[in-house]
Amino acid sequence: MIIESKEKRILNDALGELRKNTGLVAEVVDFEVKALDNALNVQYYKDAVVKIEWNDLDYYFAVEIKNIVTRAILGVVIHQIHRLQQNEKGMLVAKYINPQIADELKKMDVSFIDTVGNAYINEPPLYIYLKGNRPEKIDQPARTFRPTGLQVIFALLCNPGLENKPYRDIANKADVALGTVVEIMDDLKKTGYLIDTGVRRRQLVRKKDLLNKWVTAYPEQLQRKKMIGRFKADNQYWWENANLKEADALWGGEVAANILTEYLKPQIITVYAKRPIARFLLKNKLIKDENGDIEILERFWEFGQDPLYNNLVPPLLIYTDLMATGDTRNIETARIIYEKELSKYFRED
């Protein structure tokens, strides 16, 4: 993974604010540190390691750098922070952490600092908790990680080699306009995720990093946009006999994870369907309910289904759905799915 200059600026600015507000000595020890997940025997990278000095004591933190942290991606972030905690304590570094997220992180004892002076560190006898500082403005994500860009990336990640196909083929599979593909492919080249390897040959690289960014951006940028609504059913087991083909639908989230791993008992039923869905709702006696345990989203891709995953969305989306919930049992199941179904495609380049 390559730490971009923007991420380095976020880290340096956040450390600068910490020094200014607390008088602590804080510095970067190293960037892009290789590490091993002992539980899964998988190599990954720490964005950085920082050292904080106080009263002749040295505290080392393995750092995960994020731009914006929202409630929708909190589960993903916490999972990543916990993974860092092999030899050092994990720390989240972000451009901005709002007061609500700060309270959630404190409740889970996750250390953090941001570029406007918010911070939480609980390493007795060192204790810091600063919140409520606000930025002048909050940056919007780059075009690549907005809805249509995420659809293009999803199609590329789910279809190895698709980057070498004509742009019109990519547009059809991603269900976006041809012009969008031209723009996103150009952006992927500029940001180092796509390289030219010869005459009319391209290669998607840094796929693990691209996947992590997709998983982080999806809940806020694309999932919300594709949400048709939440529903409830009188029969909680309705989904076990539902006919998905009538709505050109597929299972996502916890149901898909249950079918794929037999490890998780579904509590939220997630369906990705093509509009219209009125007949599907009527046949399965689903009633609109903002607090219902059934969520139906619009499918946002147009590539064929792998026979290995009958009636399921692609494993990448199952993984992302689970991570986005922030639920501990779902995150553990997501780790199983990643290792079983995805890791072979996303080994570090």
The predicted pLDDT at position 75 comes to: 77
> The whole model's pTM is what?
0.71
What CA–CA distance (Å, rounded) separates 94 from 251?
34
pLDDT in tens, the chain (349 residues): 444 578 889 999 999 999 999 999 999 998 877 655 555 444 557 889 999 999 989 999 999 998 878 776 787 788 778 777 766 799 999 999 999 889 989 988 999 999 999 999 999 999 999 998 988 765 566 789 999 999 999 999 999 999 999 999 999 999 999 999 999 999 999 999 999 887 778 999 999 889 988 998 898 889 989 999 999 999 988 999 898 987 889 999 999 999 999 888 899 999 999 989 999 999 999 999 999 999 999 999 999 877 778 899 999 999 999 988 877 788 889 989 999 999 888 875 5
The predicted pLDDT at position 177 comes to: 96
The predicted pLDDT at position 246 comes to: 78
Q: Which two three-digit tokens encode residue 80?
A: 């990543």
The predicted pLDDT at position 139 comes to: 59
The predicted pLDDT at position 141 comes to: 65
pLDDT in tens, 273-332: 998 999 999 999 999 999 999 999 999 999 987 777 889 999 999 999 998 887 778 888
Q: Which domains does the chain have, with CATH numbers?
A: 5-130 (3.40.1350), 143-205 (1.10.10), 219-345 (no CATH)
User: Which residues are 27's β-sheet partners?
Assistant: 51
